[in-house]
Amino acid sequence: MADHSKLDGPIESARTGRLPAAIALTVLTGAAAVLVLGWLARAGPFVRPAPEAAAMVPLTALGLAGIAAALLLRQAQPGPAQGLAAAVGALAALNLAVILFGQPLGLGAYLPLDRLPDDRMAPPTSLALVLLALSVPALVARNAVAAMALSVFGLSATACMTLLTLDSLGGTVPFPAFAGLSLYTALCLLALFTVVALEA
C-alpha cells in the first residue's frame, strides 16, 4: 500500500492557503462593488446598510481593496504588494492627520461626493488600515510574531468597533471619533485581519 503521509502536509497547506485568498478576494470584490455600484451607479444599499447609517466612502473602499490586493499578491509579487500596502498606509495616515488638524471629514472633504454630513473615513478606520499596511511587510518577511500581534490587536479593536457600529445604525453615535464608521467597513476590516492571522 502506498504511503500518502508525506502528501498530507502539502495538501493540507494548499487547502489552508485557499481560505485566506478567498477571504481577501471577497473583500476586494465587495470594495469594488461599493465603488462601482454604490458610488458610480448610486445604488444606495451598496454604500450603506440602512438609510441613516454611515457609508463606506470611496477612499475607504480603495484602501480596503488595496490591502486585499496586497495580501493576494504578497507571495507572487512581494515588492509591488509592499508598495501597494505602503500607499494605503500613507493615505490612511494622511486622512487621520487631516482630521486631527481640524477637518472632520478628512480627505473626503476635498472630493465632490453626494454624501451625508458624517460620511468619511473615520479615525478608527484610518488606524486599522495603517495596521493592515504594516502587516503586509511583516508577512513578506515571515515575521510571524509581528504579523500575529498586529492581527490580534486589529481583530480585538475592530470587533469592538463593529459592536459600536451596530449600535449606531439608527443614527446615534456613542463617540464622536466613531462618526462615519460604516458597518460594511468594520466587517471588511475583520475579514482582512483574519487573513493576516491565518497567514502569520
The pLDDT tens digits for 94-122 are 999 999 998 888 888 887 776 776 788 98
Going by pLDDT thresholds of 50, 70 and 90, the confidence category of residue 5 is very low
pLDDT number for residue 51:
82
Mean pLDDT of 138-148: 96
HSE at residue 9, side-chain half, CA atoms within 13 A, is 3
pLDDT number for residue 174:
59
Contact 134, 148 (CB under 8 A): no
> Which of 53-57, 89-93, 177-181 is the least confident region?
177-181
Q: Inform me whether the pLDDT recorded for 78 exceeds 90.
A: yes
Q: How far is CA 29 from the centre of its chain?
A: 12
pLDDT number for residue 55:
87
Contact 35, 28 (CB under 8 A): no
CA–CA gap between residue 177 and residue 183 (Å, rounded): 15
Q: How far is CA 146 from CA 44, 131, 176, in A?
A: 38, 11, 31
pLDDT number for residue 66:
97
Helices (H), 34-143: 58-73, 78-100, 123-140
Going by pLDDT thresholds of 50, 70 and 90, the confidence category of residue 175 is low
Contact 106, 98 (CB under 8 A): yes
